[in-house]
Amino acid sequence: MKDGNANDRSYALARGLGWFSIGLGVSQLVAPGALSRLIGVEENAALMRFLGIREAAAGIGILAQDHPTPWLWSRVAGDAMDLALLGTALLSRDSEKKSLAAATASVAAVTALDVWASVQFSRNFRLREAKSFITINRPQTDVYEFFRDPNNLRRSMKTVPMEIEIVDARPNEFIEWRSADEWTIRSASMSFTPATGRDGTEVMAAVDGRIPRIVLHEALRRFKRLLETGEIPTTEGQPAGPSAASVAGRLIHLLERKEIA
């Protein structure tokens, strides 16, 4: 349980940093001049927009991946670049020393958080077992047949490897898979039992790999929605709000229409 909670906290922190990156990136793209004046550096719209694209890309990468470790480390590299630019600006005679000092302190604090999150995320996501369960309002036979098809797994769980095989199964009761790609998922199993007191099926999933429990549970929610309604939720567990893909689409749309001045 301790390891599972650590994974969940790391995953939640990674998502928070992802949304922070997108928010900062959008600000740099939309108002590069105002942001430059705020932090006390010489206005350079092209450079500020470049930094904004980098920030937004890192945020989208973090939110779009179940295992965003490389994108988290890319934030650390970006922080180092930001600190170098701020340090250069501090040496300029015409710079706003007070604003720059505050901005540098803020970036340094964020850098410390990024480094800590990257290290913790990398450390926590070793091979281990994650478990979760959910009730699906469909007959046991339908649920079992759905999960026998690996393509259905991939529709709702991005981390499912392309090459997986069923190594054990009991019709309507149990399925076990094994993967040739052990980096993300080494093996997985699901058991199916009738739901107590109502129609439906209790699904218990167990994954041996680098899958945090919260990611596994979100995948089960997508499976449930797909089986019950034929649709997959697109907000990744959030009650409302844009997805990473929609944020990227809006940024591209703005740039194509040249609305970012």
Predicted confidence at residue 165, as pLDDT, reads 83
Determine whether 242 is exposed, middle or buried from the number of CB atoms within 10 Å of its CB (0-12, 13-18, 19+): middle
CATH number for the domain including 221?
Answer: 3.30.530.20
**Angle formed by the axes of helices 32-39 and 97-124, to 10°?**
110
35 lies in the same domain as 77 = yes
* Both structure tokens of 166: 């069923």
Whether the Cβ atoms of residue 57 and residue 18 lie closer than 8 Å to each other = no
Q: Which residue has the higher pLDDT, 247 or 137?
A: 137
Whether the Cβ atoms of residue 65 and residue 45 lie closer than 8 Å to each other = no
7 lies in the same domain as 79 = yes
Confidence class for position 247, pLDDT limits 50, 70, 90? very low
What's the mean pLDDT in 60-69?
Answer: 79
Percentage of the chain modeled with pLDDT above 70: 76
148 lies in the same domain as 166 = yes
pLDDT of 232 higher than 70: no
pLDDT of 117 higher than 50: yes
32 lies in the same domain as 88 = yes
90 lies in the same domain as 196 = no
Q: Is 48 contained in some domain?
A: yes
213 lies in the same domain as 248 = no
Whether the Cβ atoms of residue 191 and residue 204 lie closer than 8 Å to each other = yes
Q: What are 21-64's pLDDT values in tens digits?
A: 898 888 888 888 888 888 777 778 888 888 888 888 888 888 88
Predicted confidence at residue 183, as pLDDT, reads 56
Whether the Cβ atoms of residue 38 and residue 240 lie closer than 8 Å to each other = no
Predicted confidence at residue 196, as pLDDT, reads 83
Q: Provide the domain count of the chain.
A: 2
Q: Is 200 contained in some domain?
A: yes
Give the pTM. 0.49
Predicted confidence at residue 203, as pLDDT, reads 95
Predicted confidence at residue 260, as pLDDT, reads 41
Percentage of the chain modeled with pLDDT above 90: 13
Strand partners, 89: none
6 lies in the same domain as 119 = yes
Predicted confidence at residue 175, as pLDDT, reads 94
Domain housing 148 = 128-229
